Amino acid sequence: MPLTSIIPSALNHTLRSALPNDTKVRFACPTDMTPEGMLGESMLLVTTRYLVTASKTGDLWQLLYRVPLSDISQIRVEPLIGASALILTVKGQLLRVLRYSYASAQDMSEAVESLVHLIDKEHGEEDHTSIHEEPAPDWSSRAAHIRTFKRLWSFCKPHKRSLSLAILVTISSSAIDLLPPYLTMIMVDEVLTDPSQYGWLALLVLVLAASRFLHTGITILSGRMLAVLGDRLAFDARSELFHVLQLLPIKYYDAQQTGGLMARIARDAKSIHYFWIDFAPAVIQQ
């Protein structure tokens, strides 16, 4: 979809009602994603004085942003998963005005270059507006780990009650596990060393055995609760990944191996599951 000055009649009618009468469209670039990241029709339009973005819902076009060209100081392209976003710096504020998939990347690149040239001409300066393309994120950095943790925590929010109960049961198991050493200390230091205290021996042994059985039962309950929670979180993660995969263009799958994608989804979801079964109980008990 190359740059064009021809726009749909319905969108043209919407523009005429929202912009001054002397406004003329210099160029436009259709895209294939809505502002929410879903597949759909959107369009970037650059007029004599404004940058306009519009999105189509049904048969109607809706104007999303109308930014004066004179207010734009920077244009940035932010890479997303299977897509990119066009971000403008307008009077010191960042505006994410448009999303587009890799299928529209070449046309949007041409549109951005034309837009920069036009804005420089608007300001009467050379190289006034800068294009900044975000580098690929470093997933091994601490900031990336924090973002990943926040992302994982977002999956836990719908299960806060189950998570809180599982943590409480796990802590109770750890607390009960402290009882046998304490009872053993009393038995060795006070009961067995004093014949007059032998009457307490049977009671201490009974309480010691009961604490062991109770600890075992609570540990089993805690493990089952965390296993169920891990399964639910893994299901939520798989559902989210499947939703994202549906938004990616066909070109993305042409460059990827199907087996590799399936393995990554299964491995990531399984890692979440095992985190709650193996790692989380150890952290809570410590």
Question: Average pLDDT, stretch 97-125?
Answer: 80
Position 110 pLDDT exceeds 80: yes
Position 202 pLDDT exceeds 50: yes
- Sheet containing 93-101: order of strands: 93-101, 83-90, 72-79, 130-133
Tokens of 38: 């879903």
pLDDT-based confidence at residue 163 (cuts at 50, 70, 90): confident
Tokens of 156: 């836990």
Direct distance between the N- and C-terminal alpha carbons of the chain, in angstroms, rounded to an integer: 58
CATH numbers and ranges of domains, the chain: 9-133 (2.30.29.30), 142-285 (1.20.1560.10)
Q: Dihedrals φ, ψ of 19, to 5°?
A: -115, 160
Note whether 240 and 194 are within 8 A (CB).
no
Position 46 pLDDT exceeds 60: yes
Position 1 pLDDT exceeds 70: no
Cα 183 to Cα 208: distance, rounded to the nearest angstrom: 7
- In this prediction, residue 127 carries a pLDDT of 45
pTM above 0.75, yes or no: no
Question: Average pLDDT, stretch 187-211?
Answer: 85
* Residues shown for the chain: 286
Residue 132 vs residue 236, higher pLDDT:
236
Residue 148 vs residue 11, higher pLDDT:
11
Average confidence score pLDDT of the chain: 80
pLDDT-based confidence at residue 53 (cuts at 50, 70, 90): very high
Least confident of 40-49, 152-161, 254-263: 254-263
Position 137 pLDDT exceeds 60: no
Least confident of 112-116, 119-123, 269-273: 119-123
Position 128 pLDDT exceeds 50: no
Tokens of 172: 């109770």
